[in-house]
Amino acid sequence: MKFSYYLLVLCLLGGVNSCSDLEEDPVGLLAPESFFRTPADVETATLGIYAWLASESVYGRKLTLSLQLRSDMCDIGDRNTPGRRQNVNDFEMGADNGMTSAFWPGLYRMIGSANAVIDGATQVEDSPAVQASVGEARFLRAYAYYHLVRLFGDIPYIDFFITDPVAIGSIEKTPAAEVYANIIADLEAAKASLPDSQPGGIRTRPTRGTAAAYLASVHMTLGQWQAAYDEATFVIANRDAFGYRLMDDFADLFKARIADGLAEHIFAVDFLGNESGGGGQNVDWMGPVTGIRQVSTADAPNGGWSVSVPSMLVYTTWDDRDYRKEVSFIDSAVVDGVYSGFEKFAPNHGSPRPHMAKFFEFCGNNRGDCGFSDNNYVAMRYAEILLIAAEAGAEVGAPAGEVVGYINEVRERARFGSDFPADVEPSISGSELIDLIMEERRLELAFEFKRWYDIKRRNLGDEVFKGPSSLEPHPNFDSGRDYLMPIPQDELDRNANLAPQNPGY
């Protein structure tokens, strides 16, 4: 069941648009003591944080599209699209890029909202309900910082409610290692205070299992393999208590009309079809930007925009026997009233190739092109936890049968009644096993905003963008520059303490 976003409290929760905006425009700040009176107030304010997560600048387009284009799975289809998107894709970003200047403050709005909840909760008598709301706010703060630190490295770390907007304008960057330590502390606190399940089985609010899953992911990113393995196997061992399992049909994960409460979803971002709030809340454009120009589907009769399109080699190198390929792509559809192959797709926009289906084909209630969709964008699902357990297990020397068992659970679902992909044999080991797991992640989580982070944490950039098997060649990729994005120039202009700029920009 969907829950409504509490937009009425956003004047309180939007206390930090970015570090610097507050210096010039502190309008809208509201002292926590004037709002927080009861546990219900704390929960209401907590729910308000989601309005910034499910917004155009974060999960509705700017952040998610940037993550897609930065990977080796997606390319720009229509080259008439704004240059800020092409520059992200082509590793030609400048500090004035319009994508980063949108999702940087968007994520800090989430953080400011979470800080308001955590501070305001101290005004209310303590109770398990208040502790759970604070745990939820700490999870969401960690979630926002987890994106920021991976994308920008050293960043301002703010963990307090802002009472002096002028002072915040001079804050300095915090080393990435310290940011990660704070993320882990928030997730551990969330794990200790969140329930095993949310009312109605909602998967768009975190639980103890969600916090543990993200702890596994953070430790994996840091190469802390034993901790990653421990957290991932904790989730697996308690899957019944958390209600987690693989969906029988991979396709069901991407059908907006049945997306609520899916057992595989560990955390998802919920958009409400044809609804929006101020500041871009609930505005979702990922369906249109990945959809096909001049192609009609049942949910999107007006077609899409052909902006983020799979690289052709991603399609041609993916074995046709893998059911995930059928689900992940649209390679035939109705074009100008005639059922046609992908060679007829968007021919005037440089995109006559298969498009991704995951966010476009079954986007539910929307405005006709999948804009303002009803999608639930999964941020973490049980299949990923199985693959984290496999990767971390391989790194720490867990029993071979256990490690390949996690992979084979994922592969069994991918077969969908066929005999491909085959089970992995326990004899595989070492770098060959790690390479196989990374490839399994690439296919299982295709287009789901994960691949860039995998490339970065495994230092694969030169291989995947310059190597002989590159799916999307970018000879200008520079590992000394491109693993980080530039700090938005307008932030540096307002606050010189954020210098120096990231290397190469």
Q: Is 356 helix (H, G, I), strand (E, B) or coil?
A: strand
Q: Work out the mean pLDDT of the chain and round it to a whole number.
A: 92
Per-residue model confidence (pLDDT) at position 241? 97
CB neighbour burial string for 373-410, b if at least 16 within 10 angstroms, e if fewer:
bbbbbbbbbbbbbbbbbbbbbbbeebebeebbbbbbbb
Is pLDDT of 11 > 50? no
In this prediction, residue 30 has a pLDDT band, given cuts at 50, 70 and 90, of low
Per-residue model confidence (pLDDT) at position 28? 43
Nearest residue to 480 (alpha-carbon basis) of 464, 451, 457, 502: 502
Q: Average pLDDT for residues 366-381, to the nearest whole number?
A: 96
Q: Within 10 A of 329 (CB to CB), how many other CB atoms are there?
A: 22
In this prediction, residue 3 has a pLDDT band, given cuts at 50, 70 and 90, of very low
Looking up tokens 């941020």 gives 379
Q: Average pLDDT for residues 32-48, to the nearest whole number?
A: 88
In this prediction, residue 321 has a pLDDT band, given cuts at 50, 70 and 90, of very high
Cβ 115 vs Cβ 141: under 8 Å: yes
Q: Average pLDDT for residues 151-173, to the nearest whole number?
A: 89
Per-residue model confidence (pLDDT) at position 16? 41
Q: Which token pair is 376? A: 């639930």
Angle 453-342-69 from CA coordinates, rounded to 5°: 20
Burial of 61 (0-12, 13-18, 19+ CB in 10 A): buried
pTM of the model: 0.94
CA distances from 296 to 332, 342, 366, 482 (A): 11, 13, 14, 37
Q: Is 275 helix (H, G, I), strand (E, B) or coil?
A: coil
Per-residue model confidence (pLDDT) at position 283? 94
List, in order of start, the domains of the chain with CATH numbers: 7-194+461-494 (1.25.40.390), 197-272+375-458 (1.25.40.390), 285-368 (no CATH)
Is pLDDT of 9 > 70? no
Cβ 99 vs Cβ 47: under 8 Å: no
Q: Which of 26-30, 49-53, 297-301, 416-420 has the lowest mean pLDDT?
A: 26-30
Is pLDDT of 430 > 70? yes
Helices (H) and strands (E) in the chain, counts: 22, 9
Express each pLDDT in 346-363 by its tens digit: 988 889 999 999 999 999
Over pLDDT 90: what percentage of the chain? 86
